Amino acid sequence: MKTKLTTLFNGFLKVAASSNRFGLNLMRIAILVIFVWIGGLKFYNYEADGIVPFVANSPFMSFFYNQDAPDYKQYKNAEGAFVAENHAWHEANNTYGFSHGLGIMIMSIGILVFLGMFFPKVGFVGEILAIIMTIGTLSFLITTPEVWVPDLGGPEHGFPLLSGAGRLVIKDIAILAGAFILLSDTARMILKK
């Protein structure tokens, strides 16, 4: 019995060890799906409204908006809600224009990373851009007050307690790691040619 289990386990190890290429291509597909989906959502007002705290508080992106932080706080919409006054403020703020441009950029990066499966040099560019983008996203953990549970009178608030927005941002660590792994693989492919 023990020998049979050992044989099965060793067989599993051999399959796992030989699945590197499958895993790398699956990571490219995962980045494609995530980036195209999230980028596509940037064309919906609820998503554009939702990224305002991140962009408005970022020293690297706030110049894309016409209003200063924290003006946006009084014009926040619940997801799926439409408040005409808030919508007008977001239009004047360039919330939707910026979100559309960001969506195109995010989808383009996802497509470039995916194309690395067939065209390594194209993938290399996409992977570098994915790394830059995810580092930018992770910077929101420092610049955006909404990533931490607010002090609403209870004992649990502030660092290290992530809010919904913070939990959304922290996941980009996995995308960053995946993009670095892909970059290394792509660099090897390019050097082999």
pLDDT band at residue 139 under the 50/70/90 scheme: very high
pLDDT above 90 covers what percent of the chain?
A: 84
Looking at every residue in the chain, the average pLDDT score rounds to 94
What confidence score (pLDDT) does residue 4 get? 86
- Extract the tokens encoding 118: 């067939």
Stretch 1-26: mean pLDDT: 89
Q: Which residues contact 135 (CB under 8 A, 6 or more apart)?
A: 176
Bridge-partner residues for 189, per DSSP?
none
